[in-house]
Amino acid sequence: MNTDIPVIYTAVSDPVEAGLANEDGTPVGNITGTSDALAVDAQLKMIREVLPEAKTIGIIYTTSEANSISTIAEYKALAGNYGFEIVDSGVTAMSEVALAAADIASKVDCITNLTDNTVVSALQTVLDEAGKAGIPVFGSEVEQVKAGCVASMGLEYIELGKQTGKMAARVLKGEAEASELNFEVISEPSLYVNFAAAEKINLELPENYKTDA
């Protein structure tokens, strides 16, 4: 991106796939920002703590969202480390989410949600179908947990926005050029828990979650 005007982006799940950064994280031009890439390894570890006997995790995603496709690939690459198998179901529109959720809920021990725009817009539908099957849904950020997901090792977009603002301030103050700053991610994901959602499906959460969340 060739421009004299610096560009600072925020919440781009995969800046490399989006053509905004190189593989090593360096900018492709006078542009930088923050990524809301999910902490997949931390999420899998958390799910294993909550569901020690679980074997399968379901993921619903939009086939046209590159960020979802790359995140599922990461889930599949890491799932075996925690003894999980990933079962995914692709949709092309929000109208397909209900059927996909009902189908996948009958095949897995739990569902984990991405920051997939289409699926997030139909999150209540996913929660309803999972509830019928008596399985938990794990979120990818705090608002999804507030909406009814059991837990998440995720991010809070307010904090991501603050981090983006700090990067923009550095550029505006002349402390650095946007072209000199690698994109950034939230370094430490936070644990968010919805105890009411867990109680609804008779899921007992680890004791330490009461103090860590």
Confidence class for position 36, pLDDT limits 50, 70, 90: confident
Task: Give the model confidence (pLDDT) of 82-127 as tens digits.
Answer: 999 999 999 999 999 999 999 999 999 999 999 999 999 999 999 9
What is the token pair recorded at 99? 């059927």
What residue segments make up the domains of the chain, in order of their start?
A: 7-36+156-182, 40-154+190-212
Q: Residue 38's closest CA among 30, 27, 46? A: 46
What is the token pair recorded at 28? 């492709």
pLDDT surpasses 80 at 213:
no
pLDDT given for residue 2 in this prediction: 58
CA dihedral 26, 29, 34, 38 (to 10 degrees): -60
What's the rounded Cα separation, in Å, for the pair 20 and 9?
9
pLDDT given for residue 1 in this prediction: 55
What's the rounded Cα separation, in Å, for the pair 177 and 8?
11
Q: Which residues contact 57 (CB under 8 A, 6 or more apart)?
A: 44, 47, 75, 79, 84, 85, 86, 87, 108, 109, 110, 111, 112
Task: Give the model confidence (pLDDT) of 148-198 as tens digits.
Answer: 999 999 888 888 999 999 999 999 999 999 999 999 988 778 899 999 999
The rounded percent of the chain whose pLDDT value lies above 90 is 80
Decide: 152 and 143 in contact? Cβ < 8 Å. no
pLDDT surpasses 90 at 37:
no
Domain range 40-154+190-212, its CATH number among 3.40.50.2300, 1.20.210.10, 3.40.50.200, 3.40.50.300: 3.40.50.2300
Residue 56 DSSP SS3: strand
